[in-house]
A and B are shown apart, each in its own frame.
Chain A
Amino acid sequence: MAVRLQFINRDKVLKDIVVCEARLAAAGADAVEEVIGMVHHDIRKNASLTDHSLRDLAEMGHPYATRAPNPPHSPPWLVHRQSGKLYNAITKKTSSLQSIIRGEVALNVALAPYGIFVIFGTRKMIKRDFMGETIKENIDFYVDGFMDVLRMATVKWEK
Protein backbone atom coordinates (compact mmCIF):
# COMPACT_ATOMS: atom_id res chain seq x y z
CA MET A 1 0.00 0.00 0.00
CA ALA A 2 1.32 3.45 -0.81
CA VAL A 3 0.47 6.81 0.60
CA ARG A 4 0.69 9.67 -1.79
CA LEU A 5 0.86 13.26 -0.64
CA GLN A 6 0.21 16.13 -2.92
CA PHE A 7 1.46 19.59 -1.96
CA ILE A 8 -1.16 21.90 -3.44
CA ASN A 9 -0.37 25.55 -3.94
CA ARG A 10 3.22 25.09 -2.79
CA ASP A 11 4.46 28.54 -3.88
CA LYS A 12 1.66 30.35 -2.05
CA VAL A 13 2.32 28.38 1.15
CA LEU A 14 6.07 29.04 0.98
CA LYS A 15 5.40 32.74 0.41
CA ASP A 16 3.09 32.79 3.44
CA ILE A 17 5.79 31.15 5.56
CA VAL A 18 8.32 33.81 4.53
CA VAL A 19 5.83 36.61 5.30
CA CYS A 20 4.97 34.98 8.63
CA GLU A 21 8.67 34.74 9.56
CA ALA A 22 9.24 38.40 8.72
CA ARG A 23 6.23 39.50 10.77
CA LEU A 24 7.24 37.36 13.72
CA ALA A 25 10.78 38.76 13.57
CA ALA A 26 9.39 42.30 13.60
CA ALA A 27 7.02 41.45 16.45
CA GLY A 28 9.90 39.79 18.32
CA ALA A 29 11.93 42.99 18.06
CA ASP A 30 8.92 44.98 19.33
CA ALA A 31 8.45 42.50 22.19
CA VAL A 32 12.10 42.72 23.25
CA GLU A 33 11.94 46.52 23.05
CA GLU A 34 8.79 46.52 25.17
CA VAL A 35 10.19 44.20 27.85
CA ILE A 36 13.54 46.00 28.00
CA GLY A 37 11.61 49.24 28.46
CA MET A 38 9.67 47.70 31.35
CA VAL A 39 12.81 46.31 33.01
CA HIS A 40 14.64 49.62 32.60
CA HIS A 41 11.73 51.56 34.06
CA ASP A 42 11.36 49.21 37.07
CA ILE A 43 15.08 49.09 37.86
CA ARG A 44 15.32 52.88 37.71
CA LYS A 45 12.24 53.18 39.91
CA ASN A 46 13.75 50.81 42.49
CA ALA A 47 16.99 52.81 42.48
CA SER A 48 15.36 56.16 43.04
CA LEU A 49 13.51 56.30 46.34
CA THR A 50 13.25 59.87 47.54
CA ASP A 51 11.83 59.45 51.03
CA HIS A 52 15.20 59.55 52.85
CA SER A 53 18.00 62.02 52.26
CA LEU A 54 21.63 61.27 53.14
CA ARG A 55 21.08 63.29 56.30
CA ASP A 56 18.02 61.20 57.21
CA LEU A 57 19.99 58.01 56.71
CA ALA A 58 22.81 59.34 58.87
CA GLU A 59 20.32 60.23 61.59
CA MET A 60 18.88 56.71 61.33
CA GLY A 61 22.36 55.37 62.15
CA HIS A 62 23.40 54.43 58.58
CA PRO A 63 20.95 51.54 58.11
CA TYR A 64 23.02 49.93 55.33
CA ALA A 65 26.30 49.99 57.25
CA THR A 66 28.00 46.90 58.59
CA ARG A 67 27.73 47.80 62.24
CA ALA A 68 23.94 47.62 62.49
CA PRO A 69 22.24 46.88 59.19
CA ASN A 70 18.59 47.75 59.40
CA PRO A 71 17.20 48.68 55.98
CA PRO A 72 14.15 50.94 56.35
CA HIS A 73 12.30 49.44 53.38
CA SER A 74 10.90 46.12 52.37
CA PRO A 75 12.28 44.68 50.18
CA PRO A 76 15.61 45.68 51.73
CA TRP A 77 17.45 46.09 48.40
CA LEU A 78 15.67 49.30 47.37
CA VAL A 79 18.02 52.24 46.80
CA HIS A 80 17.58 55.96 47.48
CA ARG A 81 18.22 58.59 44.87
CA GLN A 82 20.63 61.30 45.99
CA SER A 83 22.71 62.88 43.22
CA GLY A 84 20.89 61.03 40.42
CA LYS A 85 24.17 59.64 39.05
CA LEU A 86 23.21 56.03 39.70
CA TYR A 87 19.77 56.58 38.18
CA ASN A 88 21.27 58.07 35.03
CA ALA A 89 23.87 55.31 34.80
CA ILE A 90 21.17 52.67 34.28
CA THR A 91 21.00 52.31 30.52
CA LYS A 92 19.06 50.21 28.03
CA LYS A 93 19.90 48.96 24.56
CA THR A 94 18.35 46.62 22.00
CA SER A 95 19.87 45.26 18.83
CA SER A 96 18.35 43.20 16.10
CA LEU A 97 20.46 40.91 13.94
CA GLN A 98 19.24 38.54 11.28
CA SER A 99 18.87 35.56 13.59
CA ILE A 100 18.82 37.06 17.05
CA ILE A 101 17.24 39.96 18.87
CA ARG A 102 19.04 41.15 21.95
CA GLY A 103 18.19 43.57 24.68
CA GLU A 104 20.02 44.65 27.78
CA VAL A 105 19.66 46.88 30.78
CA ALA A 106 23.06 47.76 32.19
CA LEU A 107 24.77 49.82 34.82
CA ASN A 108 27.39 52.10 33.29
CA VAL A 109 30.05 51.98 36.01
CA ALA A 110 31.97 54.78 34.33
CA LEU A 111 29.07 57.11 35.20
CA ALA A 112 28.47 55.73 38.71
CA PRO A 113 31.51 53.75 39.88
CA TYR A 114 30.04 53.23 43.34
CA GLY A 115 27.05 51.38 41.82
CA ILE A 116 29.03 48.16 41.90
CA PHE A 117 29.52 48.57 45.68
CA VAL A 118 25.78 49.00 46.14
CA ILE A 119 25.03 45.86 44.11
CA PHE A 120 27.70 43.51 45.47
CA GLY A 121 28.29 45.06 48.90
CA THR A 122 31.57 45.90 50.59
CA ARG A 123 33.11 45.14 53.97
CA LYS A 124 31.39 48.29 55.27
CA MET A 125 28.04 48.18 53.46
CA ILE A 126 25.49 45.43 52.87
CA LYS A 127 24.67 44.55 49.27
CA ARG A 128 21.51 45.75 47.56
CA ASP A 129 21.22 44.10 44.16
CA PHE A 130 18.44 46.34 42.88
CA MET A 131 19.00 45.11 39.30
CA GLY A 132 18.91 41.33 39.80
CA GLU A 133 16.22 41.51 42.45
CA THR A 134 13.94 43.72 40.35
CA ILE A 135 14.09 41.17 37.54
CA LYS A 136 13.52 38.23 39.90
CA GLU A 137 10.54 39.98 41.46
CA ASN A 138 8.87 40.76 38.14
CA ILE A 139 10.00 37.96 35.84
CA ASP A 140 6.47 36.57 35.28
CA PHE A 141 5.22 40.04 34.45
CA TYR A 142 8.01 40.49 31.87
CA VAL A 143 7.35 37.11 30.27
CA ASP A 144 3.63 37.94 30.05
CA GLY A 145 4.47 41.32 28.52
CA PHE A 146 6.67 39.67 25.91
CA MET A 147 4.01 37.11 25.03
CA ASP A 148 1.29 39.79 24.86
CA VAL A 149 3.19 41.74 22.20
CA LEU A 150 3.72 38.57 20.14
CA ARG A 151 0.07 37.61 20.59
CA MET A 152 -1.11 41.04 19.47
CA ALA A 153 1.05 40.80 16.36
CA THR A 154 -0.38 37.39 15.54
CA VAL A 155 -3.95 38.63 16.00
CA LYS A 156 -3.27 41.61 13.71
CA TRP A 157 -1.80 39.26 11.13
CA GLU A 158 -4.79 36.89 11.27
CA LYS A 159 -7.13 39.81 10.62
Chain B
Amino acid sequence: MIVDDLEELLQQTMLASASVKGYVGTRIHPTEIALVRSQTFPCICFDFGTSSISRIGKNGIVPIQLWIHSTKDYAETFEIFELLFAMLHATRITDARIHAVGTISSGPTKYSDGEVYSLVSGWSFNCIEAGV
Protein backbone atom coordinates (compact mmCIF):
# COMPACT_ATOMS: atom_id res chain seq x y z
CA MET B 1 0.00 0.00 0.00
CA ILE B 2 1.35 3.37 -1.04
CA VAL B 3 0.08 5.04 2.17
CA ASP B 4 1.73 2.49 4.47
CA ASP B 5 5.00 2.80 2.55
CA LEU B 6 4.87 6.61 2.67
CA GLU B 7 4.03 6.57 6.38
CA GLU B 8 7.10 4.48 7.11
CA LEU B 9 9.30 6.54 4.80
CA LEU B 10 8.24 9.80 6.45
CA GLN B 11 8.91 8.43 9.93
CA GLN B 12 12.30 7.07 8.89
CA THR B 13 13.27 10.31 7.16
CA MET B 14 12.38 12.46 10.16
CA LEU B 15 14.05 10.08 12.62
CA ALA B 16 17.20 10.08 10.50
CA SER B 17 17.69 13.78 11.22
CA ALA B 18 19.71 14.36 14.37
CA SER B 19 18.31 17.91 14.57
CA VAL B 20 14.68 16.74 14.50
CA LYS B 21 15.46 13.93 16.91
CA GLY B 22 17.11 16.46 19.20
CA TYR B 23 13.72 18.15 19.61
CA VAL B 24 11.19 15.33 19.51
CA GLY B 25 13.18 12.17 20.18
CA THR B 26 11.13 9.36 18.69
CA ARG B 27 7.80 11.12 19.21
CA ILE B 28 6.74 11.10 15.56
CA HIS B 29 3.19 9.78 15.35
CA PRO B 30 1.33 8.79 12.17
CA THR B 31 -1.99 9.98 13.58
CA GLU B 32 -3.53 13.12 15.08
CA ILE B 33 -2.55 14.06 18.64
CA ALA B 34 -5.95 13.22 20.12
CA LEU B 35 -5.39 9.56 19.20
CA VAL B 36 -1.87 9.31 20.63
CA ARG B 37 -2.02 7.24 23.82
CA SER B 38 0.79 8.71 25.89
CA GLN B 39 1.13 12.32 24.85
CA THR B 40 4.51 13.92 25.53
CA PHE B 41 5.83 17.09 23.96
CA PRO B 42 7.22 18.36 21.72
CA CYS B 43 6.04 15.93 19.09
CA ILE B 44 5.25 15.63 15.40
CA CYS B 45 2.00 14.16 14.16
CA PHE B 46 0.91 13.51 10.60
CA ASP B 47 -2.29 12.09 9.28
CA PHE B 48 -3.60 10.91 5.91
CA GLY B 49 -7.16 11.42 7.13
CA THR B 50 -10.03 10.66 4.84
CA SER B 51 -8.47 12.46 1.88
CA SER B 52 -8.76 10.71 -1.41
CA ILE B 53 -5.55 9.53 -2.99
CA SER B 54 -5.19 10.13 -6.72
CA ARG B 55 -3.57 7.09 -8.14
CA ILE B 56 -2.52 6.04 -11.64
CA GLY B 57 -0.65 2.75 -11.84
CA LYS B 58 2.36 2.94 -9.55
CA ASN B 59 2.10 6.71 -9.15
CA GLY B 60 0.05 8.40 -6.47
CA ILE B 61 -0.56 11.83 -4.98
CA VAL B 62 -1.09 11.56 -1.23
CA PRO B 63 -2.30 14.56 0.79
CA ILE B 64 -1.32 14.70 4.45
CA GLN B 65 -1.75 17.05 7.37
CA LEU B 66 1.27 17.63 9.57
CA TRP B 67 1.27 19.05 13.09
CA ILE B 68 4.04 20.10 15.43
CA HIS B 69 2.96 20.36 19.07
CA SER B 70 4.89 21.95 21.92
CA THR B 71 4.07 22.82 25.50
CA LYS B 72 6.89 25.40 25.50
CA ASP B 73 6.01 28.04 22.89
CA TYR B 74 5.30 28.71 19.21
CA ALA B 75 8.98 29.42 18.62
CA GLU B 76 9.83 25.79 19.25
CA THR B 77 7.16 24.61 16.81
CA PHE B 78 8.55 26.96 14.14
CA GLU B 79 12.10 25.73 14.72
CA ILE B 80 10.97 22.16 14.14
CA PHE B 81 8.85 23.22 11.17
CA GLU B 82 11.90 24.85 9.52
CA LEU B 83 13.79 21.58 9.84
CA LEU B 84 10.93 19.58 8.34
CA PHE B 85 10.39 22.09 5.56
CA ALA B 86 14.06 21.90 4.54
CA MET B 87 13.86 18.12 4.68
CA LEU B 88 10.58 17.52 2.87
CA HIS B 89 9.57 20.43 0.64
CA ALA B 90 10.52 19.87 -3.01
CA THR B 91 13.01 17.24 -1.97
CA ARG B 92 13.14 13.63 -3.08
CA ILE B 93 13.00 11.14 -0.25
CA THR B 94 13.29 7.47 -0.92
CA ASP B 95 13.68 3.95 0.43
CA ALA B 96 13.60 0.50 -1.11
CA ARG B 97 9.84 0.60 -1.67
CA ILE B 98 8.89 4.15 -2.57
CA HIS B 99 10.16 7.48 -3.91
CA ALA B 100 8.33 10.64 -2.83
CA VAL B 101 8.53 14.39 -3.31
CA GLY B 102 6.55 16.58 -0.94
CA THR B 103 5.09 20.03 -1.52
CA ILE B 104 3.58 22.22 1.14
CA SER B 105 0.05 23.21 0.12
CA SER B 106 -1.28 25.17 3.10
CA GLY B 107 -0.09 26.79 6.28
CA PRO B 108 1.71 26.70 8.55
CA THR B 109 -1.16 27.82 10.78
CA LYS B 110 -0.64 28.26 14.49
CA TYR B 111 -3.23 27.65 17.21
CA SER B 112 -3.21 26.94 20.89
CA ASP B 113 -5.61 25.67 23.55
CA GLY B 114 -3.61 27.57 26.17
CA GLU B 115 -1.46 24.62 27.17
CA VAL B 116 -0.23 23.20 23.88
CA TYR B 117 1.11 25.32 21.02
CA SER B 118 0.42 23.76 17.64
CA LEU B 119 1.52 24.44 14.10
CA VAL B 120 -0.39 22.69 11.32
CA SER B 121 0.40 22.52 7.62
CA GLY B 122 -1.04 20.71 4.61
CA TRP B 123 1.23 18.74 2.30
CA SER B 124 0.92 16.78 -0.89
CA PHE B 125 3.31 13.94 -1.70
CA ASN B 126 3.90 12.74 -5.24
CA CYS B 127 4.87 9.11 -4.87
CA ILE B 128 6.17 6.42 -7.16
CA GLU B 129 6.51 2.84 -6.04
CA ALA B 130 10.09 1.67 -6.43
CA GLY B 131 10.96 -0.57 -9.32
CA VAL B 132 9.29 1.58 -11.98
Contacts and interface: CB of A to CB of B under 8 A. Distances in A.
Contact of B118 (A75, A120, A125, A133): A120
B101 interface: no
Interface string A113-152: 0001100111111110100010010000000000000000
Q: Please report whether the interface of chain A is mostly helix, strand, loop or mixed according to DSSP.
A: loop
Interface residues of A, number: 17
B50 A77 contact: yes
A136 B120 contact: no
Interface in B24-64: 32-36, 39, 47, 49-52
Contact of B113 (A69, A75, A77, A122): A122
Nearest to A64: B34
B111 to A, nearest CB: 5
Contacts of A125: 34
A127 B32 CA distance: 8
Given A69-B35, A116-B111, A123 B69 contact: yes
A75 B32 CA distance: 17
B45 to A, nearest CB: 9
B123 interface: no
Interface in B95-116: 109, 111, 113, 115-116
A123 B111 contact: no
